Amino acid sequence: MHVGKYWYLYLDAGLDLLFAADKVQALGEHLHKADVLFGHDGTCGWGDTFVVRFLSTDTIEELDAKLRATLERFGSWALVSGGAEIRTSPGIKWAGFTDATKHNCLGQLFLMGGSTRSYDAVEARLGGAKASTSFRFAEGRIMAIWSPESAITIFRRCERELARFDQWVICDSQGETLGPVGHTDIWMPEDLSVFYFCDPEDA
């Protein structure tokens, strides 16, 4: 049984992730246990975005006070919970997360390697009133889904559309994760205080 609730950090270092290790390690002073989202190719990060999941009993106000000074070292950031509580860096506009707060629940869909038409097809299948792209980057998108539905239910709604992507992962509002067969363990426990990024060319 989980102690506390799941929280998610979306971090943009403003530079290549290889040069952001010191910033991530500074987070380790506050987040002693955290999971890092890994892509299916075994590299950390989702495209050029570094995603961290952690359990906490703290309120969003307490987390904001504890983490903000460190988070401000990143180019941009967002802190969100499955209950759709949210804090973001100044000026950032992630409409999907903002809209999700109206519904008190937030699921997430991580997508990479699809065409513009493929992304639009998933959004349409899930329903424009329930899903929208929250964050776009070079290799893909992170989509907010404001629904209490389970990961498997969300998958069944858009199974055909997901087959068009190189990589996809669903994370529902309760923190349950679903990916393609063989790619379900995408959250890797890490000690952020000693975390460093590997250059894929050296792997």
Domain residue ranges of the chain, discontinuous segments joined by +: 5-194
Q: Check: CB of residue 72 under 8 Å from CB of residue 23.
A: no
Instruction: Give the pLDDT score at 97.
Output: 56
Task: Using alpha carbons, select from 124, 108, 125, 100 the residue that is nearest to residue 169.
Answer: 108
Instruction: Give the pLDDT score at 203.
Output: 44
Note down pLDDT in tens along the chain; length 203 residues.
Answer: 557 788 888 887 655 555 677 888 888 889 878 888 765 555 555 656 778 889 999 999 999 999 999 998 887 788 888 777 888 887 665 555 555 556 677 888 888 888 888 888 988 888 765 666 666 665 677 888 888 889 999 999 999 999 998 888 898 888 888 888 655 567 888 888 887 765 545 44
Task: Using alpha carbons, select from 50, 37, 15, 40 the residue that is nearest to residue 135.
Answer: 50
Whole-prediction pTM value?
0.77
